[in-house]
Amino acid sequence: MDAGRHPLIEVVTNAEVIGCEGEPGSFQVKVKQHPRYVREDLCVACGLCVEACPQVVGNEFDLALKARKAIYRPFPQSEPAAYIIDRENCLNDREQNCLNGTTFTYNSPDKHGTAPVTYGGYSESIVVDERFVLKVPGNLDLAGVAPLLCAGR
């Protein structure tokens, strides 16, 4: 039986041991779990976020000999298969880091409480911080233009 399925072993990811007391057979371990800034239950490890991220830094797993992005998977076989945002190197403002979890167009928890989950659809108006708005130039006919956003692929 591997450690991940052993009934007496709790696997804690993205963490470090900060204290250990006791003797063989009776240890008390203090663990500090670091935030991932990506919800493990929603991340499908598709890699689109990595493709969209412009910030490149050294990869700790390879002693900084290889590059990684500011959002990354620690190593190929990491468990869970979810990404981590490196807040020290991320170029985005905190609003973009999904600190409270992302809200997808479909089947995400509705943070406004109007429904159990989001059902998609379109609206005539939205409220958003002006830093994240795409402005359509005034000389273009609105009937013939639309902003197109893509996370990659």
**129 part of a folded domain:** no
State the residue range of the domain holding 92: 35-119
In a domain, 75, yes or no: yes
Whether 103 maps to a domain, the answer reads yes
Q: Could you list the pLDDT tens digit for every one of the 153 residues in the chain?
A: 577 688 888 888 888 999 999 998 888 889 999 888 888 888 888 888 888 888 888 888 778 788 999 999 988 888 888 899 888 888 775 444 444 556 666 677 776 677 787 766 665 655 555 666 677 788 888 888 877 665 544
Distance CA 21, CA 16 (A): 15
Residue 80 lies in a domain: yes
Residue 8 forms part of a structural domain: no
Residue 88 covered by a domain: yes
3-class state of residue 18 by DSSP: strand
Domain count, the chain: 1
Q: Is residue 105 part of a domain?
A: yes
Give the C-alpha distances (Å, rounded to integers) separating 101 from 15, 45, 50, 152.
Answer: 20, 15, 17, 20
